[in-house]
Amino acid sequence: MTLLLALLACQGAPPAATSVVQVAPLPGVDPAPTALKLYTVTWKTDPRPLPLSTLFEIEATLTDAKGAPVEDAKVRIDARMPQHGHGMATRPEDDEGVCDAAGACTHPGGVYRTRGMKFHMPGEWSLRFDVDGPAGTDHLLVPVQL
């Protein structure tokens, strides 16, 4: 018994907990087709890996079925916790792109950005990319585990 207590005392205190959750590599590096296969989305986050309770942004590149950039769509990116029935505590903002004097906006190279996203608690999240573009309306759902 004394030997057991001596061994336990030598192990020291457990490591301190951290507030940043390192997640496995996220999907997004490889193009993912939308539900109706009207578009393909490739995306990345900044920062990466995703931290818990810290603002991040997503950059999504949208292409059509032939692989050409879609520059004139509207892309909305949001996230929810399906098991909890709620979304993020922040209101993400989608970048308008490059707008002309008449108010028509495009996204050169098919690149769309959304800022102000935050996963405020650990668990299963679902990223949703809603696309309204020349080929029609479609979406992509991506599960993320923190």
List beta partners, residue 63.
40, 69
User: Could you tell me which CATH class the domain 20-145 is placed in?
Assistant: mainly beta
pLDDT reported for residue 8: 42
pLDDT of residue 75: 97
Asked if the model's pLDDT at residue 9 lies above 50, the reply is no
Closest by CA to 139, choosing from 35, 58, 63, is 35
* Ranges of each domain in the chain: 20-145
Rounded (10°) CA dihedral 37, 38, 42, 43: -100
On whether the pTM is more than 0.75, the answer is: yes
Placement of tokens 């505590």 in the chain: 89
Q: Which of 24-33, 96-105, 112-121 has the lowest mean pLDDT?
A: 24-33
Helix (H) or strand (E) holding 5: helix 2-10
Confidence of residue 19 (pLDDT cuts 50, 70, 90): very low
pLDDT value, residue 27: 53
Placement of tokens 């992509």 in the chain: 140
pLDDT single digits (tens) 23-44: 444 555 678 999 999 999 999 9
Q: Per-residue pLDDT averaged across 48-69, rounded?
A: 93
Local structure of residue 146 (DSSP, 8 states): -
Work out the average pLDDT over 127-138.
97
pLDDT at 22: 37
How confident is the prediction for the chain on average, in pLDDT? 84
**Amino acid type, 38:** L
